[in-house]
Amino acid sequence: MSSAVATVRLQSLNAGSVSSTHLAECLAVDFAALLQAVAPTLPQASMQRMRAAAGKGITQRMALAAALLREAGQGEAQHWQAHPSDSVRGWACYLIGGDAQAALTDKLQAMRPLADDAHFGVREWAWLALRSDIVAGPLEALALLQPWTQQRSRHLRRFACEALRPRGVWATHIALFKQQPGHALPLLEALADDPERYVQDSVGNWLNDAGKSQPGWVRDVCARWQSTHGSAANTYIRKRALRSLQRRTVHLGSR
């Protein structure tokens, strides 16, 4: 992945002096080099552990970086959450998420500025870092995030939906919402006509996730919304929600 990023640019990313501009840059960052640059007093044993983890997935390395900072007494998330590097701000997310002494409500409060970060990657790390807490208590998380659907920031409204998706590319699945997605209907209803495409995509993806295990429920919701929500936003959400089910129907019909 690093070969797709210019050498000089990669040096700046690894030094922590700039933020990435796209996913390829995010994935190209050498975490060991970045950790050495931003936390040079870390023990060499910690640096060796990060170098040894180079072949692991990025979510594992994000969590490891946060753990190494915490072990070295540098685990105060506020110290890192305004750093120029989006990767370092992502470590701050994992410092918050990995705090075994904090309740989910406190973690969400601490995560708000990172969930509203200007960088797309940090906003994703913000919910991924809380995913284990959310999987462990999905109904509590749902209740805590329902008010976020009314926030002025589109980032926070999206976070409320994205953090609770039944599935997800890099995320542990939420078994309850895969089998009983109706629990989240009040949250989805609150965002059913959201004017921001960034939020609409998340709502559509949430329903598309649910459709893989509860297709009838998703079809029923979309059919009802078609008669009760006349906005262009909802039309777009419904189309996105049904895309996998429609492809499946076309595929079956072609047999």
pLDDT tens-digit map of 119-177: 999 999 999 999 999 999 999 999 999 999 999 999 999 999 999 999 977 889 999 99
Give domain status of residue 164, yes or no.
yes
pLDDT at 4: 65
Region of 73 (left: φ > 0; alpha: ψ -120 to 50; beta: rest) is: left
Cβ–Cβ < 8 Å for 32, 50: yes
pLDDT at 40: 96
pLDDT at 247: 72
Domain holding 194, by residue range, is 138-255
Give domain status of residue 245, yes or no.
yes
Domain count of the fold of the chain: 1
- For the chain, the average pLDDT equals 94
Give domain status of residue 213, yes or no.
yes
φ, ψ at 192 (rounded to 5°): -65, -20
Interior/surface letters 217-235, b for 16+ CB within 10 angstroms, e for the rest: bbeebbeebeeebeeebbe
Cβ–Cβ < 8 Å for 120, 153: no
Give domain status of residue 54, yes or no.
no
Give domain status of residue 86, yes or no.
no
Give domain status of residue 47, yes or no.
no
Domain of 193, CATH number, reads: 1.25.40.290
Residues 25-37 have pLDDT tens digits of: 999 999 999 999 9
Residues 113-123 have pLDDT tens digits of: 999 999 999 99
